[in-house]
Structure formats: structure tokens, C-alpha cells
Amino acid sequence: MKDLILASTSVYRKTCLEKLGLPFSCDTPHCDETPHNNERAEQLVTRLALKKAESIAHKHHDALIIGSDQVACIEDEIIGKPLNHDTAIEQLSAASGKTVRFYTGLCLFDSHDQSYQLEVETFDVVFRKLSQQQIEGYLRKEQPYYCAGSFKSEGLGICLFKRLQGRDPNTLVGLPLILLSEMLRNKGIDALV
């Protein structure tokens, strides 16, 4: 089996990939993640998932490299990681009673022949109507300042939602495992065998 490399420093993606039980290592991707002018969410995550994988390919000559990128959108406007309390309040206030759509770009790059599979998986989070007290309480308890959309669905953030809609809940964490499993099977790797 070829080496499997996760082009990410995210502990969430690493933990997610461990669910497949396949041996892998991680490497830090190097690429400019600045969105291009008028770049839609789907275009951005597709471009960055590929760039992340490509950025480490020169170090891994016969490997399958996983690149992934994710953004969240409210009414087609990209929202990023809040990085601070005030921005998190703004994001959760804007999400209250609305649907936040997550776009996750996933790339499986074969460094041997430079071929790749590249797709986007979406996942919708429908928020309950939230009071300022609930938003403040949540942020005080979980402090999700480095998470797109200002919440952690795998933690207390689940209490913010009315429902989740999508084919793979791992997409919300940033690594759609159903899609990744399909891509790996296309390369002859089946986690079940």
C-alpha cells in the first residue's frame, strides 16, 4: 500500500481520519489561503484542497496525499474562524434561526503520477433561534474561536441546532470520510479489507 499522508495540521481532521484505521502520517501544507476576488465558496475549497495536497507532494514521491479545506456560509457569504469573542458573537447572532452551509473540498492526490480526485461535499446546519444569553453562555463554556462558524458540533455546540442535514456528519469536522473512502477504493485501498 502507498503511504497515506494527511496534508493538515488540524487535530480534528487527524482524529477523524483515525476512524478509518489506516496507517497515515501528517505533513504541514504550505499555500496561500487568501480567497481570490469574487471566488465562490465551492471554488475556494476546491482550489485549496488541491493546493494543500500539491504543496507537499515533492516530499512524498509515491504517496496518496489527502488535502481538505472548509468554509462556512450564511446566505452565500463566507464566514471564517472568528478568532475572538466579539466576532464569535456576531457570527452566532447572524446564524440564529438560519441555515449555515459548510463546503468541504476534498482531494486525494497521487504523487507518483500527479493524478487526483477532487470533489466538494456540503453539509447544512440549521440553527435554532438563539438569545444573546444563550450565545454568551455557549461561548463562555466552549470558546470555539478557531472553528469556522464559531461552534464545535462535536461538543456543546450541538445544543445550538434545530437539525443537521447531509450525508456524512464527518464533513462538519472538515474531512468527509464517506467520500474519502470512495476515493481510496478507486485507488485500491479498502479500509474494510
HEC profile of 95-123: HCCCEEEEEEEEEEEECCCCEEEEEEEEE
Rounded distance between C-alpha atoms, residue 113 and residue 57, angstroms:
11
Residue 179 CB neighbour total at 10 angstroms: 20
Which grid coordinates belong to 143?
Answer: 470558546
- Residues known to be catalytic: 69
Question: To which H or E segment does residue 177 belong?
Answer: helix 177-186
Which grid coordinates belong to 110?
Answer: 497521487
C-alpha angle 62-68-71 in degrees, rounded to nearest 5:
165
Rounded distance between C-alpha atoms, residue 67 and residue 64, angstroms:
10
